Amino acid sequence: MFKRRVLFIRWIILLINGCLIVLLLASIPVNAQLSNSQGKIGSSPSTTIGAQEIITMTPVQLDGRTLFTIAGMSSNDQKNTAPLDNRAEFIEESLYKLLEEDFNAESLRVEVHDKGDHTKIVASDNGKLKNVPLFILTPLDARVAGFTLEESSNYIAQVTQKALRQAWQERQPAYLRRQVKLAGILVVSTIALSTIIWLLQKQLKKKEAVLREQKTSCDLRMTANLIRTAEVSEAMRMDEEEVSSTEYCHTLATEQLHNRRMLSSQGLQSYLLQVTQGLIWLGVIALILGLFPFTRAWEWTVLELPLLLGVFLVAIALSKGSGILVDRTLEQWLQYRKNLSPQQLERWLLRANSFAPIIKGAIATVLITTALLFILSRLNIPLAPILAGAGILSLAISLGSQRLIADLISGTLILIEDQYAIGDFVTLNENAFGRVERLNLRATSLRNRQGNLISLSNSDIKQVNNLSKDWARAKLYVPVHYSADVDRTIEVVQQVIDQMQADSFWGELIQEAEIRGVEEIDGYGFTIGVRFQTKPGVFRKVIRECRRRLKPAFDKAKIQFAERPIYQSMQTSN
CATH of residue 462: 2.30.30.60
pLDDT at residue 170 is higher than 70: yes
| 389 pLDDT above the threshold of 50 | yes
Reported confidence tier of residue 223, pLDDT bands at 50, 70, 90? low
**Does residue 483 share a domain with residue 457?**
no
Q: Is the pLDDT of residue 403 over 50?
A: yes
Q: How far is CA 540 from the centre of its chain?
A: 41
Give the pLDDT confidence score for residue 22 in this predicted structure.
43
Question: Which of these three, 334, 363, 381, is where a domain ends?
Answer: 381
Q: Does residue 367 form part of some domain?
A: yes
Does the structure show a pLDDT above 60 at 511? yes
Q: Show which of 399, 434, 466 is a domain's final residue.
A: 466
**Greater pLDDT, 41 or 384:** 384
Q: How confident is the model at residue 320 (pLDDT cuts 50, 70, 90)?
A: confident
pLDDT band for position 222 (50/70/90)?
low
- Specify the pLDDT at position 495: 92
Are 105 and 165 a contacting pair, CB within 8 Å? Answer: yes
- pLDDT computed for residue 293 by the predictor: 87
* pLDDT value, residue 210: 82
Q: Which domain, by its residues, includes 56?
A: 46-170
Q: How many CB atoms lie within 10 A of CB 237?
A: 14
493 within 8 A of 550, measured Cβ to Cβ: yes
User: Which position has the higher pLDDT, 39 or 254?
Assistant: 254
Residue 176 lies in a domain: no
244 and 341 belong to one structural domain: yes
pLDDT band with cut points at 50, 70 and 90 for residue 350: low
Residue 389 lies in a domain: no
Residue 344 has pLDDT above 80, yes or no: no
The pLDDT value recorded for residue 565 is: 59
pLDDT value, residue 177: 92
Q: Which region among 11-15, 419-423, 447-451 has the lowest average model confidence (pLDDT)?
A: 11-15
Tell me, yes or no, whether 462 and 479 share the same domain.
Answer: no
Domains identified in the chain, total number: 4
User: Do 95 and 117 share a domain, yes or no?
Assistant: yes
Q: Do 436 and 536 fall within a single domain? A: no
Residue 16, pLDDT > 50, answer no
Interval 312-328 mean pLDDT:
82
Position 492 scores a pLDDT of 92
Residue 333 has pLDDT above 70, yes or no: yes
Q: Which residues contact 349 (CB under 8 A, 6 or more apart)?
A: 222, 226, 253, 256, 423
SS3 assignment for 31-60:
CCCCECCCCECCCCCEEEECCCEEEEEEEE
pLDDT at 341 over 50: yes
Do residues 440 and 527 both lie within one domain?
Answer: no
**Which pLDDT score is estimated for 331?**
73
Q: Which of 446, 466, 486 is the last residue of a domain?
A: 466
Specify the higher pLDDT residue, 534 or 215: 534
The answer to whether residue 24 sits within a structural domain is no
Structure confidence at residue 185 (pLDDT): 93
Does 4 score more than 50 pLDDT? no
Q: Is the pLDDT of residue 434 over 80?
A: yes
Question: How much is the pLDDT for 337?
Answer: 63
Confidence of residue 188 (pLDDT cuts 50, 70, 90): very high
pLDDT at 225 over 70: no
Range 129-154 average pLDDT: 83
Q: Does 351 share its domain with 432?
A: no
Per the model's pLDDT, the better-predicted residue between 303 and 530 turns out to be 530
Residue that wins the pLDDT comparison between 381 and 478: 478
Residue 182: per-residue pLDDT = 92
Distant-in-sequence contacts of 92-101, Cβ < 8 A, 24+ apart: 92/60, 92/61, 92/62, 94/133, 94/134, 94/135, 95/62, 95/134, 95/160, 95/163, 95/164, 95/167, 96/62, 98/123, 98/132, 98/134, 98/164, 99/164, 99/167, 99/168, 99/171, 101/128, 101/129, 101/132
Q: How confident is the model at residue 549 (pLDDT cuts 50, 70, 90)?
A: very high
User: pLDDT grade, residue 386 (50/70/90)?
Assistant: confident
Task: Summarize the confidence of residues 407-427 as an average pLDDT.
Answer: 79
Distance CA 501, CA 512 (A): 9
Q: Is residue 361 part of a domain?
A: yes
As a whole number, the mean pLDDT across the chain is: 76
349 and 497 in a single domain? The answer is: no
* pLDDT of 118 higher than 50: yes
Q: What confidence tier does 494 reach under pLDDT thresholds 50, 70, 90? A: very high
- Per-residue pLDDT, averaged over 213-225, amounts to 69
Domain of 488, CATH number, reads: 3.30.70.100
Confirm whether 395 is domain-assigned: no
> Is it the case that residue 410 has pLDDT exceeding 70?
yes
If asked whether residues 274 and 291 sit together in one domain, one would say: yes
Looking at residue 357, what is its pLDDT? 78
Average pLDDT over residues 289-312: 79
- State pTM to two decimals: 0.52
In this structure, is residue 452 part of a structural domain? yes
Q: 38 or 215: which carries more pLDDT confidence? A: 215
Burial of residue 11 (CB within 10 Å: 0-12, 13-18, 19+) is: exposed
Asked, for residue 507, whether it belongs to a domain, the answer is yes
